[in-house]
Amino acid sequence: MAKKVRTAQESSEDPAAVQMLDRAIFLDIDTAFRRADNIIPCNIGAQGLCCKNCAAGPCRLVGNTLRGVCGATADTIVARNFTRSVASGSAAHSDHARGLAYTLLAAAEGDAPDFRVRDPHKLKEVAGYLGIKTDGRTTVEIAKDVALAALGEFGKPQGELTYLKRAPAKRQQIWKENHIAPRNIDREVVETMHRTNIGNDQDPEHILDQAMRCALADGWGGSMLGTDLTDVLFGTPAPVLAEANLGVLEADMVNLVVHGHEPTLSEMIVAAVQDPELIAYAQSKGAKGINLAGLCCTANEALLRQGVKLAGNFLQQELALITGAVDAMVVDVQCIMEGLNPVAARFHTALISTSPKAAIPGSMRIEFDEHHALATAKQIVRVAIDRFAMRGETFIPDIKSPVVPGFSHEYIDYALGGVYRASFRPLNDAIMQGRIRGVVANIGCNNPRVSHDSLHRYVVTEFLKNDVLVVETGCGAIASAKQGYMTPQAALEVAGPGLREVCEAIGMPPVLHMGSCVDNSRILTVLTQMASEGGLGNDISDIPAVGIAPEWMSEKALAIAVYAVASGCYVIMGGTDGPVSGSENILRLMSETWEKKVGGKLEFIAEGAEIVRRAMQHIDKKRAALNLPKYDASKWGKSGDARMPELIALPLEERIEAVYGAPAR
Ligand code: SF4
Ligand code: MSK
């Protein structure tokens, strides 16, 4: 295969990214885009057919090589490789949650004075799920027990994950019957690694069952706890107005960018940048003030709660530095490219690594410790201010979009029903009537093998036109935010007639930002509430909904995909042929067999139009199975509000007929 070097326009559909890619070429700076062009992916590895699980290999199953040295077949090797990736992704989300549980514990024990319970209502709700008494107890007492119970979910010796009880009853039964109910989080990750060692589990279907059990330990365990504990510590999100894309960087202010995943440090930095002493210090260096922006999921966490601006998604981390305007970029864990440091070194930017779990050679090291959180955050802000004085030429694309994020399941409940009758009833009704044809969760990363944001932009636009409500997390959410799809006004411009009516009535955007990668657990909660509300079956698998990660790249996305499937969803992973394309049997197991077993299925479909076609087909199939009316766009778009100017101009009898549909008496 010949190498093809793409132009900036071919590499991204985001105009701000295109400008920075052109600048990268001009300055001869290496980026993930260029490296992706220069590295031809290994075709054997890409199909999942390379095993390196022992030193007798690596064994590459190509041509006439049908078994590895130990005798492992292609099906076994593909299943093992895939399942190990799921374990890795589950571990990442869950270890993030463990850190939050320790922070909550430290806060409750008085060892982390800068943290406290900001959402006592959520704390009580979580306590209820975990079986902790709340009556007559102080917030601190409850918080300590919640933290300890959450930590217990990682390694409890008996029973199953407590949060499984939050799923619909039918779903719990399916997990029991298929022996895939996770016991505890760590055990499922460890057992997955054990089973996939040389000479262990040799039945691909059995290996993939463990992939589901491990992923469920993430979705209904690590990730769900991560979301809950973050809400407890920092507040449950509600809508807030912010801006998205590289244009949020300011030429005359100190620009500090937070990047990674964990909200503990970024929340402290939000506090530190408001410190009058630090603002005065920035002004003393000639800056107008301190501007905070975020990348990837740290950005999503800070955006949802604090309205911190979004600088961009995964593929924009190097591009942000190439503006020359980032004075410091502070990183913790996950999705932090090793390519950042060489780019930072070309500018005045301080790349500051903070996590004890992720050392980054060449970066400035300021280890984050929750016991002295605010002091550490202030130290980081000072570094950024000092670097501002060393800034050279800057080039900030004048491109940004307004965004209204913050759609936690609690807020959706409230938005739909109001404070006295919070309910998912209006959403279920809109789907049952066909105003909303179905729901798509568009999530996941960017992948430099795909033109940046192109698939996110394409599929979301198509779904909206077809009256499909889109909910999003992670870098997919950032793509839509930059596209301008996350404002109530966007519904008027891009949504189909039925979805537009619903958005107008509620005042919500047609694409709902629900948070970071771990917050995909919020989507599980929404689906469960929709299933229990009535009218859309009694399980997640009955709902006309699809999960899509059109530009996925991380192992975490595979864990999310598998827990969504094991929870009953149809999931499509886009952009490439996927990591199991080397085995027809595994492809069949993940689609046909999994659908029979758990009601959900996983498919890898590279191309956008086919993703949309299959998603629509699935939504319509689920609608038909529920005996819902066939989707008909021509019935909608004539809501009272929109017709008012036209109605008031009509003579009385025609007006009555137009409104009530019957001749005037
Ligand atoms: Fe080869 Fe088997 Fe070792 Fe894998 S586990 S590297 S297939 S010998
Ligand atoms: S940051 S996992 S690139 S969504 Fe959560 Fe984005 Fe994917 Fe990282």
Q: Say what the pLDDT of residue 664 is.
A: 41
Indicate whether 24 belongs to any domain: no
**d(C-alpha 394, C-alpha 406), whole Å:** 32
Mutate to test the pocket of ligand 2, among 303, 336, 482, 556 (most ligand atoms within 8 A of CB): 556
**Quick one: 283 and 420 in the same domain?**
no
Position 53 pLDDT exceeds 80? yes
Q: Which domain holds residue 435?
A: 404-631
Q: Say what the pLDDT of residue 428 is.
A: 94
Closest Cα to residue 225, out of 153, 310, 156? 153
Comparing 91 with 644, which gets the higher pLDDT?
91
Segment 48-76 shows an average pLDDT of: 97
Mutate to test the pocket of ligand 1, among 50, 52, 59, 201 (most ligand atoms within 8 A of CB): 59
**Quick one: 543 and 616 in the same domain?**
yes
Closest Cα to residue 81, out of 597, 634, 579? 579
**Quick one: 268 and 181 in the same domain?**
no
Q: Whose CA is nearest to atom 3 of ligand 2?
A: 445
The total domain count for the chain is: 4
**Quick one: 623 and 638 in the same domain?**
no
- Report the chain's mean pLDDT, rounded to a whole number: 95
pLDDT in tens, 251-292: 999 999 999 999 999 999 999 999 999 999 999 999 999 999
**Quick one: 150 and 274 in the same domain?**
no
Ligand nearest to the CA of 84: 1
What tokens appear for 575 in the block? 């952009």
**545-549 vs 438-442, strand pairing mode:** parallel
Share of the chain above pLDDT 70, in %: 97
Is 249:291 a contact under the CB 8 Å cutoff?
yes
**Quick one: 135 and 271 in the same domain?**
no
Indicate whether 396 belongs to any domain: no
Q: What is the DSSP letter of 631?
A: P
Of the residues 333, 354, 388, which one is the last residue of a structural domain? 388
Mutate to test the pocket of ligand 1, among 67, 70, 197 (most ligand atoms within 8 A of CB): 70
pLDDT in tens, 148-168: 999 999 999 999 999 999 999
pTM for this one?
0.95
**Quick one: 313 and 426 in the same domain?**
no
Ligand nearest to the CA of 518: 2
Q: Say what the pLDDT of residue 660 is.
A: 67
| Amino acid present at 386 | D
Position 657 pLDDT exceeds 90? no
Indicate whether 30 belongs to any domain: no
Indicate whether 263 belongs to any domain: yes
Indicate whether 62 belongs to any domain: no
Closest Cα to residue 230, out of 310, 173, 305? 305
Closest Cα to residue 183, out of 208, 228, 214? 214
Q: Say what the pLDDT of residue 665 is.
A: 42
Task: Report the atom number in ligand 2 closest to the C-alpha of 516.
Answer: 5
Pocket of ligand 1 (CB under 6 A): 51-54, 56-59, 68-70, 72, 77, 198
Q: What is the 3-state secondary structure (H, E, C) of 572-609?
A: EEECCCCCCCCCHHHHHHHHHHHHHHHCCEEEEECCHH
- Residue corresponding to tokens 């992939």: 211
Ligand nearest to the CA of 517: 2
Q: Binning pLDDT at 50, 70 and 90, where does residue 409 land?
A: confident
Ligand nearest to the CA of 559: 2
CA of 91 to the centre of ligand 2 (A): 15
Q: Which residues of 387-416 are buried (b: 16+ CB within 10 A; e: fewer)?
A: bbeebeeebbbebbbebbbbbbbbbbbebb
CA of 310 to the centre of ligand 2 (A): 14
Indicate whether 38 belongs to any domain: no
Strand (E) positions, 155-241? none
CA of 575 to the centre of ligand 2 (A): 15
Mutate to test the pocket of ligand 1, among 49, 51, 201 (most ligand atoms within 8 A of CB): 51
Mutate to test the pocket of ligand 1, among 44, 52, 83 (most ligand atoms within 8 A of CB): 52
Pocket of ligand 2 (CB under 6 A): 261, 296-297, 314, 335, 444-445, 474-475, 516-517, 554, 556-557
Could you report how far apart the first and last alpha carbons of the chain are, in Å? 76
Position 346 pLDDT exceeds 60? yes
Q: Say what the pLDDT of residue 1 is.
A: 54
Ligand nearest to the CA of 294: 2
CA of 55 to the centre of ligand 1 (A): 7
**Quick one: 178 and 305 in the same domain?**
no
| Amino acid present at 631 | Y
Position 622 pLDDT exceeds 90? yes
pLDDT in tens, 294-321: 999 999 999 999 999 999 999 999 999 9
Query: Considering Cα of 542, then 218, then 334, then 195, what sign does the dihedral take?
Result: negative
Q: Which residues pair with 438 in a beta bridge?
A: 468
Closest Cα to residue 514, out of 293, 238, 202? 238
Q: Say what the pLDDT of residue 644 is.
A: 66
Q: Say what the pLDDT of residue 422 is.
A: 66
Indicate whether 75 belongs to any domain: no
CA of 561 to the centre of ligand 1 (A): 27
Q: Which helix (H) or strand (E) holds 531?
A: helix 520-533
Task: Report the atom number in ligand 2 closest to the C-alpha of 313.
Answer: 6
pLDDT in tens, 538-563: 999 999 999 999 999 999 999 999 99
Q: Phi-psi category of 534—alpha, beta or left, where left has phi over 0 and alpha has psi -120 to 50?
A: left
**Quick one: 626 and 655 in the same domain?**
no
**Quick one: 555 and 411 in the same domain?**
yes
Of the residues 199, 234, 269, which one is the last residue of a structural domain? 234
Ligand nearest to the CA of 556: 2
Position 89 pLDDT exceeds 50? yes
Q: Say what the pLDDT of residue 605 is.
A: 98
Position 507 pLDDT exceeds 90? no
CA of 538 to the centre of ligand 2 (A): 32
CA of 90 to the centre of ligand 1 (A): 24
Strand (E) positions, 72-207? none
CA of 452 to the centre of ligand 2 (A): 13
**Quick one: 494 and 540 in the same domain?**
yes
Query: Considering Cα of 585, then 588, then 589, then 590, what sign does the dihedral take?
Result: positive
Position 377 pLDDT exceeds 50? yes
Is 348:392 a contact under the CB 8 Å cutoff?
yes
Mutate to test the pocket of ligand 2, among 227, 314, 472, 521 (most ligand atoms within 8 A of CB): 314
Segment 77-85 shows an average pLDDT of: 98
pLDDT in tens, 180-223: 999 999 999 999 999 999 999 999 999 999 999 999 999 999 99
**Quick one: 616 and 647 in the same domain?**
no
Segment 33-42 shows an average pLDDT of: 96
Q: Whose CA is nearest to atom 7 of ligand 2?
A: 445
Closest Cα to residue 341, out of 359, 314, 355? 359
- Residue corresponding to tokens 């990591």: 579
Q: What is the CATH number of the domain that holds 272?
A: 3.40.50.2030
CA of 552 to the centre of ligand 1 (A): 28
Of the residues 187, 214, 234, which one is the last residue of a structural domain? 234
What tokens appear for 107 in the block? 């806060």
Q: What is the CATH number of the domain that holds 109?
A: 1.20.1270.30
CA of 138 to the centre of ligand 1 (A): 56
3-state helix, strand, coil in the chain (%, to 5): 55, 10, 35
Indicate whether 96 belongs to any domain: yes
